[in-house]
């Protein structure tokens, strides 16, 4: 998935991000505003993980949520 889709639809994905990373506060989610690097940094801070681990978690998040942004085909 292209991260620009998440950034452009941050309000829709915000709940999914909150469900995935519950330690992130609403204020932090406001600051992140869909920016991948900001999200990675906040995950590192909140969960005490490395940059590589935060990136891995974000990539998994993208893959799981890919189905939500694929266009629906008409039957």
Total count of domains within the chain: 1
| pLDDT tens string 12-52 | 899 999 999 999 999 999 999 999 999 999 999 999 999 99
Is 72 within a domain? no
Is 42 within a domain? yes
Measure the CA–CA gap between 49 and 5, rounded to whole angstroms: 25
Is 51 within a domain? yes
* H, E, C per residue of the chain: CCHHHHHHCHHHHHHHHHHHCCCCCHHHHHHHCCCHHHHHHHHHHHHCCCHHHHHHHHHHHHHHHHHHCCCCCCC
- Report pTM: 0.82
Is 21 within a domain? yes
CB atoms within 10 A of CB 35: 15
- Structural domain that includes position 30: 3-65
Report the pLDDT value the prediction gives residue 3, as an integer from 0 to 100.
83
CATH value at residue 48:
1.10.1470.10
């Amino acid at each position: 998935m292209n991260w620009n889709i998440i950034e452009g639809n941050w309000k829709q994905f915000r709940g999914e991000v909150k469900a995935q990373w519950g330690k992130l506060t609403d204020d932090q989610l406001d600051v992140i505003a869909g920016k991948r690097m900001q999200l990675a940094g906040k995950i590192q801070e909140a969960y005490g993980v490395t940059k590589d681990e935060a990136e891995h978690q974000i990539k998994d998040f993208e893959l799981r949520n890919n189905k939500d942004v694929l266009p629906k085909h008409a039957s």
